[in-house]
Amino acid sequence: MKPENFQYMATLAKERSGLVLKEDKVYLLDSRLMPLARRKNIETLDEFVEAIRRNNDFNEQTEVVEALTTNETLFFRDTKPFDIFREQVMPTIFQTRTANKKFRIWSAASSSGQEPYSLVMLLDQMGSQLAGWQYEIVGTDLSMEILQKAQDALYTQFEVQRGLPVEMMVKYFEPEGPKWRFKQAYREKVKFQKANLLENQSALGKFDIVFCRNVLIYFEKETKGRVLDMIANMMPADGKLFLGGAETVLGLTDKFEAVQGVKGLYQKTG
């Protein structure tokens, strides 16, 4: 790939999604962009990028940037954070929010919905504990295509088998052809909308609990810090933040600190 074309894509991806593309990622451009190129009867990556450069069309660029996102996810990914949510974070919510019995959760980078839907199932399992309580779960992502998939909530056998206990699959999903759809009554518990973490999202309101997992890993240090600061400003003083296993707040922001002894969980400082 011509260096100037690679540079153009790297700049576009970084500006529009935060994704850092190093030179060793040409294979990623190739695997993600060539399907788009072929649809336009373009045979090589260089020709495709040159067409994007020439057209300088915002929507076309958006399509390309979205195609570069990695949407890998699964139900109850990593298990432990969901145990912590159920056993440590929710009991605190039940103790501290007795006045209005309301709380809000943000799945920031919700991909195809497995993360927020896992939370819906866990909350449902809390049964009578939640009687009289109101909650809202907001799932956001940069990619419109993946948000559509989240809203459709239609998963392959492989996707439902990954991470999801069989009893949950039977209770919360219904078969549809060879696939499984998350039942409407549960689907409705999550409000999905597009939100780019590089932009100020304070219009979404305040969140007591934020899951921002496996997205900061794609950003450079300064971007990670900015996103974390924005999230901190969208949480009350006792808000809790979950990050992915390979992510941390250390050296990125002074607005969060690790909750001692609880891996992956962060709280606001001060």
- C-alpha–C-alpha distance, residues 68 and 28, integer Å: 8
Per CB under 6 A, contacts with ligand SAM among 168-207 are 196-198
3-state secondary structure of 139: strand
Query: Bridge partners of 192?
Result: 139
Is residue 71 at the binding interface for ligand SAM, with CB under 6 A as the rule? yes
Number of residues that bind ligand SAM (CB under 6 A): 22
Nearest to 172 by CA among 153, 147, 146: 153
Is residue 246 at the binding interface for ligand SAM, with CB under 6 A as the rule? no
Binding range to ligand SAM, per CB under 6 A, among 124-132, 142-150, 163-171, 248-256: 142-150
Name which position in 139, 225, 244, 264 contacts ligand SAM (CB under 6 A). Answer: 244
Binding range to ligand SAM, per CB under 6 A, among 181-189, 210-218, 248-256, 259-267: 210-218
- For the bound state, the minimum distance from the C-beta of residue 223 to ligand SAM, rounded and expressed in Å, comes to 8
Beta-carbon contacts of residue 183 (< 8 Å; ≥ 6 apart): 172, 173, 174
Is residue 239 at the binding interface for ligand SAM, with CB under 6 A as the rule? no
Beta strands, E only, the chain: 102-108, 134-141, 154-155, 173-176, 179-182, 190-194, 209-212, 240-243, 256-258, 265-268
Name which position in 13, 33, 61, 73 contacts ligand SAM (CB under 6 A). Answer: 73
**Footprint of ligand SAM on this chain (CB under 6 A)?**
17-18, 69-73, 77, 109, 111, 115, 141-143, 146, 196-198, 213-215, 244
